Amino acid sequence: NAGVTQTPKFRILKIGQSMTLQCTQDMNHNYMYWYRQDPGMGLKLIYYSVGAGITDKGEVPNGYNVSRSTTEDFPLRLELAAPSQTSVYFCASSYRDYLNHEQYFGPGTRLTVT
């Protein structure tokens, strides 16, 4: 199993450009998440999905959009990039049962907006 994969690994965007961060998992997990991590800080939840076709906002959703058309894929779209979106973005997945939401993280995408 590849686990959680993310592309690209690095990207530099100009202000106002748009891009999509890709995330794929091959563990048949129902839950998927997008986080951002600013330097020296913890993780903040942007969006999450409890299954194909269902998405919901996290703590910091403004400026982002997501979709979940399949169990495996959960892309994150940035529209009109701003310098405040410079961060490292992590995708994660988990298999929810009543007890356990242990998350498996992808390698991250380092995004710079200038």
- Decide if 7 contacts 109 (C-beta within 8 A): yes
Q: What strands lie across the sheet with 4-7, from one edge to the other?
A: 4-7, 19-25, 76-78, 64-66
Q: Among the candidate windows 18-26, 37-45, 60-68, 72-80, which touches other proteins by CB under 8 A? A: 37-45
Contact status: 2 vs other proteins (CB under 8 A): no
Q: Among the candidate windows 16-24, 39-47, 66-74, 75-83, which touches other proteins by CB under 8 A? A: 39-47
Contact status: 1 vs other proteins (CB under 8 A): no
- SS3 category, 106: coil
**CB-based burial label for 82 (10 Å; 0-12, 13-18, 19+):** middle
Contact status: 27 vs other proteins (CB under 8 A): no
Q: Among the candidate windows 13-21, 22-30, 75-83, 106-114, which touches other proteins by CB under 8 A? A: 106-114
Six-digit token string for 24? 């794929």
DSSP 30-47: SEEEEEEE-TT--EEEEE
Contacting residue, 45, 47, 95, 114, with other proteins by CB under 8 A: 45
Contact status: 63 vs other proteins (CB under 8 A): no
Binding site for other proteins (CB under 8 A): 33, 35, 40-45, 56, 58, 90, 92, 96, 98-108
